[in-house]
Structure 1
Amino acid sequence: MRRDRIRAAFVGGVPDRLEEGVLYVSLEHDAMLHLCACGCGHEVSTPLGPTDWRLTWDGASISLSPSVGSGALACRSHYLIERNAVRWLMPMTDWSIADEQDRTRAAKDRYWGPTTSGNDTPDATQPATPVPTNPSWWGRMWNRVFG
């Protein structure tokens, strides 16, 4: 069932079972996870960071920026989360997915520094991408999203 509301649950790690309409936020791991708001049941991972998503919490509601685009999923859902409300946008297209991937790559290059080659090997003079502090948590996240 398509959702029009979502609430935050601040957690230390990934729960065994995700509940619909809940955005699980782990500040310790700079990551968020939720079931797609369209109701398809797929898990959506949104990392927190200077080149990823930003979370605003006012003590009662949450907002995410930028929008959540599920271009890799069959549903191609695309929505904003603003003050716990899900605001639906046009579904992701091949063009919008490619455009967002380009924007993300450019933002990461601006922030972390350009790569030395096309294989995404960072330049040794640039700061390294942060490494998760708890690999087992990230391993679980990876398996949930891509497993």
Structure 2
Amino acid sequence: MIKHKSLQHVFVDSFPSSLEPGKLYVSVEYGSVAHGCCCGCGEEIVTPLTPTDWHIVYDGETITLHPSVGNWTLACRSHYIIRKGEVIEAPAWSDQQVAAERRRDGRAKAAYFGTTQAASPSIASTAVTPERDAPQYLLSGNIGWKARIRRFWTKIFR
């Protein structure tokens, strides 16, 4: 069950130590989006913005996060879509569907990054840290936020 039906986006350099419910924090600096789980369980959700993970669409007023957010490693197992700031509850996935998606994700990462490993590590065992996981083209140089956004989108859509 979804408790938060909409999320107000906030562009930040880095995430606050405590995420306010109902807010979608976007850090272009670290190529990530964070929010409190929309079911209201209190868990913090971080989605990395990479060519093989999530991406956002900012239309000047709202944020869409794609693909859906599936919290399979959490007790709530919530699944939802964030479209134009609105939260849309999505159907639950079976363990078999989750496993198939993880295999697909591992293959996509291996193909994109040119590695031989086709298996993706479990999200639960992987801590996302900006220093390690932010795309280098977002961290390089002392440039303004507009230039970082332009560089980010150029890398994503070329």
- Quote the Cα distance in structure 1 between the aligned partners of 2:119 and 2:44: 29
1:9 paired residue number: 10
Cα 1:20/1:117, change in 2 over 3 Å: closer
CA shift for structure 1 position 99: 1.6
1:33 paired residue number: 34
More helix by share: 2
- Could you tell me the percent identity over the aligned residues? 41
2:99 paired residue number: 98
Q: Are the aligned partners of 1:76 and 1:93 in contact in 2 as well (CA < 8 Å)?
A: no
CA shift for structure 1 position 18: 0.7
Q: Are the aligned partners of 1:30 and 1:48 in contact in 2 as well (CA < 8 Å)?
A: yes
Query: Which letter maps to 1:98?
Result: A
**How many residues get paired?**
126
2:115 paired residue number: 114
* Structure 1: runs of 5 or more not aligned: 121-128, 135-147
CA-to-aligned-CA distance 1:65-114 (integer Å, 9 cap, x gap): 11000000000000000011111011232112212211211111121113
Cα 1:42/1:92, change in 2 over 3 Å: farther
Q: Are the aligned partners of 1:5 and 1:86 in contact in 2 as well (CA < 8 Å)?
A: yes
2:74 paired residue number: 73
CA-to-aligned-CA distance 1:101-131 (integer Å, 9 cap, x gap): 11211111121113269799xxxxxxxx845
- Quote the Cα distance in structure 2 between the aligned partners of 1:21 and 1:96: 28
**Higher-RCO chain (CA-CA 8 Å, sequence separation at least 6):** 2
Matched residue SS, 1:67: strand
Matched residue SS, 2:17: coil
Q: Are the aligned partners of 2:27 and 2:33 in contact in 1 as well (CA < 8 Å)?
A: yes
- Quote the Cα distance in structure 1 between the aligned partners of 2:56 and 2:104: 19
Per the normalisation by structure 1, the TM-score is: 0.77
- Quote the Cα distance in structure 1 between the aligned partners of 2:95 and 2:118: 25
- Quote the Cα distance in structure 2 between the aligned partners of 1:133 and 1:7: 25
Q: Which runs of 4+ in 1 moved over 3 A?
A: 116-120, 129-134
> 1:132-143 residue pairs with structure 2 within 5 A?
133=139
- Superposed CA RMSD in Å reads 2.5
